Amino acid sequence: MSTVLDSRSFLRWCWRQLTSMRTALILLLLLGIAAIPGSLFPQRSQNPLQVKQYFVDNPTLANWLDRFSLFNVYSSPWFSAIYLLLFISLIGCVLPRSIGHLKAIGAAPTITPKYLDRMEYFTEIKKFDLDLAEKQLRKMRFRIRRDSNSISAEKGYARESGNLLFHLSLVLILIAVGVGSLFGSKGDAIVNLGDRFINTPTSYDILGFGKYQAEDSLPPFSLTIKEFKAEYDPATNAPLDYTLTVLAANPAGSKENVEIIKVNKPLTFGSTKVFLQANGHSPIVIVKDKSGKVVFDGPTPFLPQDANLSSIGAIKIPDMQPQIGFVSSFLPTADRDPIRGGFSSYPEVLDPRLLISVWKGDLGLNIGVPQSVYRIDTSKMERIGLKALVLNESYDFGEGSITFTGWKPWVNLQIINDPGKGYALVGAILAISGLLISLFTRQRRIWIKQGRKTQIAGLAKNGIPGLEDEIKKLVKELGSE
């Protein structure tokens, strides 16, 4: 019996600790500090390639960092623990306060304290009519408790309302974030100019689903890439504007509409949005085998490496015997200098080069280990040629030939469904409103007590100034100096 009681009182003690102000403060500070490492180490959620590189550069350190989730800080157990505790504390603190606050609607202020001279503001004046004071205070929209020889008045009830609204809205935002990550989806697809993208899981290069999002729930639209225009500043090479024109059909196969997508202007299908995320060039090559049969003819998206769109890529020909791979770079506007060798000096295609090194052997495509489409694992291959091709040039590498015939732009479409974001926005708006109400409402109390003399005292929450003037004005109105 007593152990039950003990453990119960222990639990109650824990709860009181958790919901105390001091704990809230510590948890808040902890949350801020815990967010720091995520900005110092590369994060898988944003920059998986950089994380991989970190493992290559410092394998031992990286393994240790990984053990403490330092590459996934914001989904790590310790980060989650801090914010969950903070929000439990928040709910435990704010819910009872809200209930108390609701009950206090319309209730009279507390009884006038016995000793007024201890208050922040205190003065004694000539006797005057309490009824008149009450009337005046009511006119000033104070809430009033009138006793036979005293008045207790309070104003600024909205401060607490705003404060509670603010804290409760934070909970709403947290829920919205949760909804987004559990029920949303996010994917990337690289599409060449002229190609059609159909919104099914197999069309994506990368696609991530929330835990509870069904895979067949993608809206069935299709997009055909009609035109892509990138404008650059000739002086600085900086991008000025990107414009993507697509033919959109929803569902696929229905009538197509011309739509424009820009960097800040996605295309919307319900709660799903299509963003223009990145762009690059796809060189077009024709590869023939020894007998002159065409084994490959088409564009291959290359991955840009710098602002001038020097790009790397891999053209893989698994159907030749032996298998052939071209480890390549594409320079849209080729230039040379003695230090860097070949590089691109402008992002548009003005004087293209395709640099290839030809490898023969086993491309390693059948082992089932996923491979980057931009790279070739050459560990089981042998290099048989090296060449820089200008447009329409061919190169014979013994096992066959390759001709560089042109290029096409590609765009990276990012397709995101976040059903929680509407709630997050509502939460954010409510939070700000609550904050404004609470920080700009002055909460204060005024007491008037009739004895041999009349005593007036006041107290302002957080020592916010202005109370003194207010009381002076009141006294003046009552005509008693």
Partner 1 sequence: MSNTSTALLSNDFIYASMALYTLAFFAHAVEVAWSVKTPAKSVKKTKLDFSRTERVGRLASAFMVLGFLLLTAGVIFRGISANRVPWGNMYEFSITGALAFSGAYLFALKKYKVRWLGLPVSLAVLLTLGTAITLLYRPSAPLAPALKSTWLVIHVSAAIISGGVFLLANAIAGAYLILDRYEQKGVRPIWAQKLPSLEALDNLSYRLVALVFPLWTFAVIAGAIWAESAWGRYWGWDPKETWAFITWVAYAAYLHARVTVGWRGRKAAWLCLFAGSTFLFNYIYINVWGTGRHTYSGL
Identify whether the C-beta of residue 114 lies closer than 8 Å to the C-beta of residue 455: no
The region of 23-31, 189-197, 378-386, 404-412 touching partner 1 under the rule CB under 8 A is 23-31
Which of 98, 150, 163, 403 forms a contact with ligand HEM (CB under 6 A)?
163
Q: How far is CA 236 from CA 232, 233, 308, 446, in A?
A: 8, 6, 11, 66
Identify whether the C-beta of residue 358 lies closer than 8 Å to the C-beta of residue 384: yes
Q: How far is CA 306 from the centre of its chain?
A: 25
Return the amino acid letter for 478. Answer: L
Which of 34, 42, 79, 89 forms a contact with ligand HEM (CB under 6 A)?
89
The region of 87-95, 235-243, 290-298, 406-414 touching ligand HEM under the rule CB under 6 A is 87-95
| Full DSSP string of 36-62 | SHHHHS--TTT-HHHHHHHHHH-HHHH
Bridge partner list, 333: 351
**Residue 369: which of partner 1, ligand HEM, none does it interact with, CB under 5 to 8 A by kind?**
none
In the bound state, the residue with its beta carbon closest to ligand HEM is 93
Helix residue ranges per DSSP H, 260-339: none
**Residue 90: which of ligand HEM, partner 1, none does it interact with, CB under 5 to 8 A by kind?**
ligand HEM
Return the number of the residue (22 or 255) whose C-beta is nearest partner 1. 22
| Full DSSP string of 190-206 | EEETT-EEE-SGGG-SE
In 3D space, the residue among 404, 369, 379, 405 whose CA is nearest the CA of residue 389 turns out to be: 404
Return the number of the residue (384 or 426) whose C-beta is nearest ligand HEM. 426
d(CA 324, CA 463): 79
DSSP one-letter code for 215: G
d(CA 270, CA 199): 14
The verdict on 86 binding ligand HEM (CB under 6 A) reads yes
In 3D space, the residue among 206, 178, 198, 162 whose CA is nearest the CA of residue 440 turns out to be: 162
DSSP one-letter code for 252: T
- Closest approach, Cβ 51 to partner 1, in A, equals 12
**Residue 19: which of partner 1, ligand HEM, none does it interact with, CB under 5 to 8 A by kind?**
ligand HEM
Which of 19, 112, 152, 311 forms a contact with ligand HEM (CB under 6 A)?
19
Return the number of the residue (86 or 467) whose C-beta is nearest ligand HEM. 86
Which of 167, 281, 408, 444 forms a contact with ligand HEM (CB under 6 A)?
167
d(CA 358, CA 355): 10
How many binding residues for partner 1 (CB under 8 A)? Answer: 51
Return the number of the residue (115 or 440) whose C-beta is nearest ligand HEM. 440
- Tell me the per-residue interface mask from 210 to 249 with partner 1, x by CB under 8 A, - otherwise: -----------------------x-xx-xxxxx-------
In 3D space, the residue among 266, 261, 198, 267 whose CA is nearest the CA of residue 229 turns out to be: 261
The verdict on 173 binding ligand HEM (CB under 6 A) reads no
d(CA 386, CA 381): 14
Which of 161, 329, 344, 438 forms a contact with ligand HEM (CB under 6 A)?
438
Return the number of the residue (19 or 417) whose C-beta is nearest ligand HEM. 19
Q: Is 313 helix (H, G, I), strand (E, B) or coil?
A: strand
**Residue 414: which of ligand HEM, partner 1, none does it interact with, CB under 5 to 8 A by kind?**
partner 1
The verdict on 74 binding partner 1 (CB under 8 A) reads yes
Identify whether the C-beta of residue 468 lies closer than 8 Å to the C-beta of residue 142: no
- Closest approach, Cβ 471 to ligand HEM, in A, equals 22
- Closest approach, Cβ 119 to ligand HEM, in A, equals 18
Q: How far is CA 302 from the centre of its chain?
A: 28
How many binding residues for ligand HEM (CB under 6 A)? Answer: 13
**Residue 18: which of partner 1, ligand HEM, none does it interact with, CB under 5 to 8 A by kind?**
none
**Omega before 220 within 30 of 0, i.e. cis:** no
d(CA 243, CA 52): 33
Q: Under the rule (CB under 8 A), what is the footprint of partner 1?
A: 21-22, 24-25, 28-29, 31-32, 35-36, 38-39, 42-43, 45-47, 73-74, 177, 186, 233, 235-236, 238-242, 262-266, 273, 275, 277, 414, 416, 418, 421, 424-425, 428, 431-432, 435-436, 439, 462-463
Q: Under the rule (CB under 6 A), what is the footprint of ligand HEM?
A: 19, 21, 24, 28, 86, 89-90, 93, 163, 167, 170, 438-439
